[in-house]
């Protein structure tokens, strides 16, 4: 019997590539996103490619708490017990001091952070009761430390990382695995809007393979690409008097 994945934010970018990667390995994949036509495209692509796994669309706005619970129940009723869950839905908006906007921060927090919180609220009681399951949250290397123009986006990703770290030890005691996924720059419709150099830019298919491998190994942190991750982890260890000049030089702010 095929293993089952549920992934949100699966209409484009990393989520789409991950859904197809899992289907290529024979998994049954429930894909969620707000735009139904994007989900239809993912399903069609899996069929056209004759992938061994089945892809099924479940439209969802992750900011709708009740809808997240309904979709979780619907997937398990249709496909069976979910083995892995990846809460990937997210958005990005640059934040500069001259264009500071409460609404921008609120939108980023509702989608990126509360969208994952809504997901955890929907699935954790069931996973804890079963004493099994693997849930992953897609954060970002932008959550490691403060970067220019990322005051809103980076804050949501830092919050996700902290939340996963906080939950891990207690979820281990219940037999539930939690992972945090921290990608660097991956070519997606969101990063296509960036007007600055993106070091170590990855293709979504390469990111999907790295993510699939990390999930199979049940790693707590799944991060890529390795050179970029190591650079940013080194930077966050520096004292501020070194950190800020280096970041300014690297980002050319």
- Tens digits of residue pLDDT in 16-29: 999 999 999 999 99
Whole-number Å distance between alpha carbons of 221 and 241: 28
Which pLDDT does position 251 carry in this prediction? 80
Whether the CB-CB separation of 152 and 112 falls below 8 Å is answered with no
Which pLDDT does position 199 carry in this prediction? 73
CATH no. for residue 120? 3.40.50.720
> For the chain, which ranges sit under pLDDT 70?
189-198, 253
Question: Could you tell me the pTM of the whole model?
Answer: 0.95
How many domains are contained in the chain?
Answer: 1
Which pLDDT does position 194 carry in this prediction? 60
Say whether 153 is catalytic.
yes
User: Which residues lie below 8 Å from residue 112, measured CB to CB, with a gap of 6+?
Assistant: 89, 90, 91, 153, 156, 157, 160
Which pLDDT does position 191 carry in this prediction? 64
Q: Which of 47, 58, 2 is nearest to 28 (CA)?
A: 2
| 22, 58, 144, 153: the active-site residue | 153
Domain of 90 in residue numbering reads as 4-251
Which pLDDT does position 95 carry in this prediction? 86
Whole-number Å distance between alpha carbons of 115 and 126: 18
Whole-number Å distance between alpha carbons of 141 and 145: 8
């Amino acid at each position: 019997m095929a293993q089952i994945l549920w992934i949100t934010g699966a209409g484009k970018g990393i989520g789409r590539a991950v859904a197809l990667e899992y289907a290529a390995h024979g998994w049954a994949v429930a894909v969620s996103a707000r735009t139904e036509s994007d989900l239809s495209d993912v399903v069609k692509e899996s069929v056209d490619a004759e992938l061994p796994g089945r892809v099924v669309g479940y439209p969802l706005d992750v900011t709708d708490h009740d809808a997240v619970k309904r979709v979780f129940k619907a997937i398990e009723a249709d496909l069976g017990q979910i083995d892995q869950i990846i809460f990937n839905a997210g958005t990005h908006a640059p934040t500069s001091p001259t264009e500071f906007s409460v609404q921008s921060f609120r939108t980023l927090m509702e989608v990126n952070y509360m969208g994952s919180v809504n997901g955890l609220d929907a699935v954790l009681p069931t996973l804890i009761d079963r004493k099994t399951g693997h849930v992953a949250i897609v954060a970002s290397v932008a959550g490691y430390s403060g970067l220019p123009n990322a005051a809103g986006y980076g804050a949501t990703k830092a919050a996700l990382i902290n939340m996963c770290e906080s939950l891990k030890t207690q979820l281990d005691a219940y037999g539930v695995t939690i992972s945090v996924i921290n990608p660097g720059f991956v070519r997606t419709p969101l990063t296509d809007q960036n007007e600055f150099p993106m070091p170590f830019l990855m293709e979504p298919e390469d990111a999907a393979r790295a993510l699939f491998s990390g999930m199979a190994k049940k790693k707590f942190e799944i991060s890529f690409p390795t050179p970029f991750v190591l650079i940013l982890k080194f930077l966050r260890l520096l004292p501020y008097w070194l950190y800020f000049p280096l970041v300014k030089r690297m980002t050319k702010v």
